[in-house]
Structures are given as C-alpha cells and as structure tokens.
C-alpha cells in the first residue's frame, strides 16, 4: 500500500469532480457522503439546517451590515460560500477560502470573483496570505479537521484557526465524537480523534464551546453507525430508501426534526457542529458580528 500523501490525494480527488457539481457546490461525494446523488444532497441539506440551528443557539452571528469577514478552511467546492447569505442574514460579506487542492482553488476563483482563495501549501507563505485578511468574525472548519492525519499538522492548523478568529468572533468546526482514536485502513485520509483532545487544545486559547448541534441522527447513526445501532426494520427501510426518493425525503424530514430535540451529546449522534468563542467574549445577550 502506497503512503498517504494529502496534497496528491486531494488534488486527484478534486480534479475528478465534474464542473457542474462544483457550480452546484456539492463537492466530492466521498467526502460529503451518500450512496447516491439524492442521498448526498439530503446530507448537505441536513448539515445546512444543523449549522443554522447551531448559530441561532449560540445567538450569533446574524448581521445586516457588510463588514462580516469570513474564513473557511477546507472550502472544497464552495458549498458553504453559497449558503452564507442565508445563514448570516446578509449579502455583503467578505470571504476568504483555503484548500489544499490547486484545482479546487482555481475553479472557485474563476466562479467567485469577489472572494479570495488561497491554496494551502506545506509552508508558512500561504498562511501568511490568509493572515493578511485577519481577524475574521467567523472561522469555519467543517468536515475537514478529521481529514488531517498528521497530529502535528492538526495541532498547528487548529492553533492557526483560533488565532485567525477575532476576540469577538466565532470559530465553528465539526467532528465525530469518538472516545478513542479511530483510523480506517480503507480510508487513509481520515483520522477521528477523541473530542476531548480537540477541546483540550481549544482550552489553551481560552476558547469556550457555546453551542453544540448534531448534524444527523438516522443518516449517520443507523446507516453508517456501528452494527449495534442497526435493526432489521430500519435496515429494511434504508434498503428501500436507497431506491425510492419519496422514502428518502421522509427520512430527511424525520431526521431534521429529531436533531432539534435530541440531546446534543447523545452518543448516537456522532457528527456534530461546535460553535466556540473566547471565554472573555461570551455574553448572555444576542450578538451581532462587528
């Protein structure tokens, strides 16, 4: 088995994405999940709904002014860039995206002329370019931190993301909450670290989690979870859903309501959004991005 090389892997993967999928923002199915195009779209819709709920739960960030400054690490095919106007409640915001794939950056830059994009290389020059646009009111790292398999790079990246966020800003990331390190022989580009490991790193920078929101319930627990979370009935429903858009839609509607009421740290909800702020910046009243 050849050694995993992140730059080569993600460049090859992004280059295989059709241009139309990039325009739609749906990126790489192997990264976004889904056994079919329909399922992949529902997974993205659930992510979008969960992130909106997380932002409202954290009382941030909704703003009508045009000074919202956003940085997204792992911008991929630009899905979250297309969703930000709705999520932030504003149209005029500044956006900087960074990704490891030159193809992904080139495509996004050609399509979104008013935004900035940086190809993150294995040196400080690219990060210096990002830092020139800091501080950011909102820093995003969605479905990307667990794709950094080198622990030293992971810690350095997390440190940089926190430092790029303004004192009054919000840092949002998503991870899978496993108790132990999870690595997959067939998925060398994935390394799930214990959630506490990430929280300990954030604590060094006085960052506090102010909101937690599950992304999925059925969509990650039953179909993609461990065998103990399956049942004959649910397995039968999923086998139908994969072939029937109506059943898939009904499952989506059910999932989108369950995440509103289930305990955020329910062990059956592995994938979650975490909204963080600096301890001294946490307040009890609604906040507006400066």
The confidence band for 282, taking pLDDT boundaries of 50, 70 and 90, is very low
Least reliable range by pLDDT among 133-142, 214-223, 229-238: 229-238
Quick: pLDDT tens for 3-21.
Answer: 778 888 888 887 877 766 6
Write out 113-138 in H/E/C secondary structure. CCCEEEECCCCHHHHHHHHCCCCEEE
What pLDDT was estimated at residue 171? 96
Domains of the chain, earliest start first = 6-215+266-279 (3.40.50.150)
Using alpha carbons, select from 117, 154, 87, 86 the residue that is nearest to residue 22: 117
Query: What ranges in the chain are assigned the alpha helix state H?
Result: 6-15, 19-24, 29-32, 37-57, 79-88, 102-111, 124-131, 151-164, 195-203, 218-221, 232-241, 245-261
Q: In sequence order, what are the residues at sequence separation of 6 or more whose Cβ sits closer than 8 angstroms to the Cβ of residue 98? A: 71, 72, 73, 74, 75, 117, 118, 119, 120, 126, 130
What pLDDT was estimated at residue 265? 84
Quick: pLDDT tens for 64-94.
Answer: 555 789 999 999 888 899 898 888 887 678 9
Mean pLDDT of 39-53: 88
Identify the bridge partners of residue 118 per DSSP, sorted by sequence position.
Answer: 98
What pLDDT was estimated at residue 237? 73
Quick: pLDDT tens for 125-173.
Answer: 899 999 999 999 999 999 999 989 899 999 999 999 999 999 989 999 9
pTM of the model: 0.85
- What's the rounded Cα separation, in Å, for the pair 278 and 172? 12
Of residues 160 and 230, more confidence is placed in 160
């Amino acid at each position: 088995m050849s050694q995993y090389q992140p730059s080569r892997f993600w460049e090859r993967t992004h280059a295989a994405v059709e241009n139309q999928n990039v325009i739609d923002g749906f990126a790489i199915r192997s990264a976004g999940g889904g056994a079919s195009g329909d399922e992949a779209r529902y997974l993205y819709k659930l992510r979008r709904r969960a992130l909106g709920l997380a932002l409202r739960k954290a009382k941030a960030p909704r703003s009508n002014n045009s000074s919202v400054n956003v940085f997204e690490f792992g911008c991929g095919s630009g899905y979250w860039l297309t969703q930000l106007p709705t999520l932030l409640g504003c149209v005029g915001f500044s956006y900087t995206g960074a990704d490891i794939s030159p193809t992904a950056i080139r495509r996004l830059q050609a399509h979104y002329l008013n935004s900035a994009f940086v190809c993150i290389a294995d040196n400080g020059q690219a990060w210096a370019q990002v830092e020139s646009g800091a501080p950011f009111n909102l820093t995003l790292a969605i479905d990307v931190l667990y794709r950094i398999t080198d622990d030293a790079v992971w810690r350095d990246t997390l440190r940089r993301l926190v430092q790029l966020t303004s004192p009054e800003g919000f840092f949002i990331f998503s991870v899978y909450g496993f108790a132990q390190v999870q690595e997959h022989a067939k998925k060398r580009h994935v390394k799930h670290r214990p959630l506490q490991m990430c929280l300990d790193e954030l604590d060094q920078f006085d960052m506090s989690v102010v909101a937690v929101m599950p992304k999925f319930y059925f969509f990650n627990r039953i179909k993609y979870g461990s065998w103990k979370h399956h049942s004959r009935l649910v397995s039968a429903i999923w086998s139908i859903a994969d072939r029937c858009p109506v059943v898939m839609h009904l499952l989506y509607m059910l999932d989108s309501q369950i995440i509103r009421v289930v305990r955020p740290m329910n062990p059956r909800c592995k994938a979650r959004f975490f909204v963080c702020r600096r301890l001294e910046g946490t307040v009890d009243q609604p906040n507006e991005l400066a």
